[in-house]
Amino acid sequence: MPNETSRIKPPTRRPPPFRKLRVYAYDPSLGWQIETAVINQMTLQVPWEELKPGPVGEYLEVVDVDPPSRCCYAPVDLNERLILAEDGLDPAEGDPQFHQQMVYAVAMTTIHNFERALGRRVLWSQAGGDQGYQFVPRLRVYPHAMRDANAYYSPQKKALLFGYFPASTSDPGYNLPGGTVFTCLSHDVVAHETTHALLDGLHRRFIEPTNSDTLALHEGFADIVALFQHFSFAPALRDQIRRTRGDLASQNLLGQLAQQFGQALGSRGALRDALGQVDPATGQWSPRVPDPADLQKVREPHTRGAILVAAVFDAFLTIYKSRIADLLRIATAGTGVLAQGEIHPDLVERLAREAAASSSHVLTMCIRALDHCPPVDVNFGDYLRALVTADRDLVPDDDRGYRIAVIEAFRRRGIYPQGVRSLSAESLCWACPLGAEEEALRNLLPGVRSLSRVRPDWTLTTDRKRVWEQMQKSGREIHAWLLSEPVRAIAGNFGLALGADAPSSIDRGKDGFPVFEVHSVRPARRLGPDGQTLTDLVIEITQKRRGYLNPATQAKVDKGSIPPQEPDFWYRGGCTVLVDLDRGAVRYCIGKGMMSDSRLAAQRKFAQATASLQATYFGDPRRRETAEPFAMLHRSLGIEEEPLG
């Protein structure tokens, strides 16, 4: 018999890389139709983490209280043996614990897609308070927050709130007339709201309506993420490829968002469709024809954001068609015309692979572009330039024509950047500083060794609170550097006004000098097709200035003729600086000039046209009120709130 020391030690078990959880691929309504029931459930592979009942993890805390019903639901324990053994709870509309599982799984999938594209862990927008900014470890998620046809991200609460409501009794689509619709059971709604929170964590000034595009970009970008996540659902993707015979420009589920939500409101179709629209009178679907004039006709953020979504989806279709051209030539013996009937399952599989690869590339392009945007007052043209620049940096040789596809799709919808000479990819890329500008930038920031020291240790495995603390420390060090007199003198070249002679309307500190904020210091990591890893340091610096609707008042306050009054709006400026630490060079300085009279006039005009709207969404700046912008934005679709029970 073996002695005590000779016993075999049990092997050390490592946690699995993923936790498998079942969800609705789209929403419950597809399970009520014979042709889509088979594809309406899927299993997501969520990165493994230790969870408490809720679920409560590192990024998310699901809190299932139901104020309208005056009750709360028992939190699901995803570590329970039977739940683990069956890949989570079985999808069920009437089970609140499955609702908790669904919001967690879809939100974590969206977070994972962002982290994979950016090469770093994500942070939520920090909380403000009497003690300064505070780290927010978890986003709270409320699956049954309100009895309302609404769902929104709350920047104030750092939370996602999902409503539930009765379907239309006159035209409910596939829903039971008057039956309860839960927005938390829609993949698209959950992914959309999670994206709002992720974007706010990266660019917290993008929720301020300084032009017609800022809120539209928030809405459009959230739709883009939800839309392209459809292509990761392999069975559903193959089904739609088979039904459309590979023609993804025709009506299909992949290009539609929130089918159940839209039908429950009586719209006879999805809430939004990137490809076309349903005639409310006839119920017939027709493709949407690009019109460059549309952008000049609409201001409502969702409608305007839909133009951005259509442009990006159009670019995806062009890329997809170029990738499958050889497959179609082989399948049709060179004619390009498929035979009548269903296409071969092998062709379905190959087309689905190309569609998934194309969508993954486009989604990654869209997310990576966020590091190449100005920190304030962003518009669609800025985003186009960011898309082209970020992709050019990673893939210098555009042999597949991806950037051309993006530019052409934006052009067809009238999206033109300002300050460029042509629509060539070279012209649209942000300009690299040269000559005197490059020298001034070198003087603006500390040396490469100093910048290497302040770069946060921010990877896909770093502790998030430690990352946030490092980012705060790095921001303070760069802020102190920018306070030096030589730097103040040259800051005007980069959109900043730091000297004592700056307009009196610019916010000032106790020392009489303009104040500014180092918003973010973060690495941008990308892996190129050749395996090369590119890492830049991204530094965002912003200022604010009192804005007045009366130009005469503005001029007097600027000159110091009268003391600064409470502003009618805040005018912000600043820059995003990307530094290549390997070469010791500033690659880009993407600015929004603090002293730009034309931009100030444009924001004044926009504020005058939307004064009541801004007060509704954001509160009165003169009284420093706050409001819930996304709650009001989503209700602006014509959705009325029901009284709470």
Q: Which of 183, 202, 221 is the last residue of a domain?
A: 202
In a domain, 359, yes or no: yes
Of 275-284, 370-379, 470-479, the range with the lowest mean pLDDT is 275-284
Residues 324 and 182 in one domain: no
Q: Is the pLDDT of residue 622 over 80?
A: no
22: enclosing H helix or E strand:
strand 18-24
How many Å apart are CA 324 and CA 439, to the nearest integer? 47
Residues 420 and 467 in one domain: no
Q: What is the DSSP letter of 387?
A: H
In a domain, 308, yes or no: yes
Q: What is the model's pLDDT at position 92?
A: 95
The C-alpha R_g of the chain, in whole angstroms, comes to: 26
**What are 61's two structure tokens?**
């805390």
Q: Is the pLDDT of residue 154 over 80?
A: yes
Provide the pLDDT confidence category of residue 187 given band limits of 50, 70 and 90.
Answer: very high
Residues 131 and 170 in one domain: yes
In a domain, 458, yes or no: yes
CB 455 within 8 A of CB 539: no
Q: What is the model's pLDDT at position 637?
A: 47
How many Å apart are CA 302 and CA 460, to the nearest integer? 33
Provide the pLDDT confidence category of residue 643 given band limits of 50, 70 and 90.
Answer: very low
In a domain, 564, yes or no: yes
Closest CA to 425 of 403, 401, 393, 396: 403
How many Å apart are CA 89 and CA 103, to the nearest integer? 13
Q: Which of 387, 408, 427 is the last residue of a domain?
A: 427
**First-residue to last-residue Cα distance in the chain:** 71
Residues 240 and 128 in one domain: no
CATH of residue 422: 1.10.390
Q: Is the pLDDT of residue 563 over 50?
A: yes
How many Å apart are CA 319 and CA 373, to the nearest integer? 24
Q: Is the pLDDT of residue 97 over 60?
A: yes
Q: What is the DSSP string of 159-176?
A: EEEEEEEEPPSS--TTSP
> Average pLDDT in the 170-187 region?
88
Residues 468 and 396 in one domain: no
Provide the pLDDT confidence category of residue 443 given band limits of 50, 70 and 90.
Answer: low
3-state secondary structure 532-601: CEEEEEEEEEEEEEEECCCHHHHHHHHHCCCCCCCCCEEEEEEEEEEEECCCCEEEEEEEECCCCHHHHH
The counts of H helices and E strands in the chain are: 20, 17
In a domain, 640, yes or no: no
**What are 409's two structure tokens?**
């799709």
Residues 465 and 364 in one domain: no
Of 111-115, 320-324, 343-347, 625-629, the range with the lowest mean pLDDT is 625-629
Q: What is the model's pLDDT at position 447?
A: 58
Q: What is the model's pLDDT at position 218?
A: 96
pLDDT in tens, 541-553: 999 999 999 999 9
How many Å apart are CA 150 and CA 147, to the nearest integer? 8
Total domains present in the chain: 3
Residues 252 and 401 in one domain: yes
Backbone dihedral angles phi then psi of residue 160, each to the nearest 5 degrees = -105, 130
> Average pLDDT in the 12-17 region?
86
**Top mean-pLDDT range of 168-172, 294-298, 384-388, 559-563:** 384-388
Q: What percent of the chain has pLDDT over 90?
A: 58
Q: Which of 379, 401, 427 is the last residue of a domain?
A: 427
CB atoms within 10 A of CB 520: 22
CB 549 within 8 A of CB 419: no
Backbone dihedral angles phi then psi of residue 308, each to the nearest 5 degrees = -65, -45
- Vertex 308: Cα angle to 307 and 314 (nearest 5): 90
CB-based contacts of 575, cutoff 8 Å, min separation 6: 374, 375, 494, 495, 496, 540, 541, 589, 590, 591, 592
Residues 576 and 448 in one domain: yes
Q: Is the pLDDT of residue 449 over 90?
A: no
How many Å apart are CA 215 and CA 159, to the nearest integer? 19
Q: What percent of the chain has pLDDT over 70?
A: 89
CB-based contacts of 282, cutoff 8 Å, min separation 6: none
| Of 526 and 550, more confident | 550
CB 589 within 8 A of CB 580: no
In a domain, 158, yes or no: yes
Q: What is the pTM of this model?
A: 0.92
Q: Is the pLDDT of residue 475 over 80?
A: yes
> Average pLDDT in the 77-83 region?
96
CATH of residue 61: 3.10.170
| Of 598 and 131, more confident | 598
The CA–CA distances, whole Å, from 128 to 131, 142, 325, 463, 620 equal: 8, 22, 53, 21, 19
Q: What is the model's pLDDT at position 482?
A: 83
Q: What is the DSSP letter of 124?
A: P
Structural domain of residue 106, as residue ranges? 23-202
| Of 21 and 448, more confident | 21
How many Å apart are CA 383 and CA 417, to the nearest integer? 9
> Average pLDDT in the 143-162 region?
94
Estimate the crossing angle of helix 96-118 against helix 345-368, to 10 degrees: 70
Residues 128 and 265 in one domain: no
In a domain, 578, yes or no: yes
Residue position matching structure tokens 């103040």: 488
Backbone dihedral angles phi then psi of residue 622, each to the nearest 5 degrees = -70, -25
**Strand residues in 431-531 grouped as ranges (E):** 517-527
> Average pLDDT in the 315-325 region?
96
CB 40 within 8 A of CB 89: no
Residues 362 and 473 in one domain: no
Q: Is the pLDDT of residue 79 over 90?
A: yes
**What are 266's two structure tokens?**
């009586």
Of 81-95, 168-182, 210-224, 378-392, the range with the lowest mean pLDDT is 168-182
Residues 284 and 318 in one domain: yes
Provide the pLDDT confidence category of residue 625 given band limits of 50, 70 and 90.
Answer: very low
How many Å apart are CA 163 and CA 24, to the nearest integer? 17
Q: What is the model's pLDDT at position 615?
A: 53
- Vertex 251: Cα angle to 246 and 257 (nearest 5): 110
In a domain, 220, yes or no: no
Residues 76 and 38 in one domain: yes
Q: Is the pLDDT of residue 269 over 90?
A: no
CB atoms within 10 A of CB 271: 22
Is the preceding peptide bond at 55 cis, omega within 30 degrees of 0?
yes
Q: What is the model's pLDDT at position 413?
A: 95
Q: What is the model's pLDDT at position 636?
A: 46
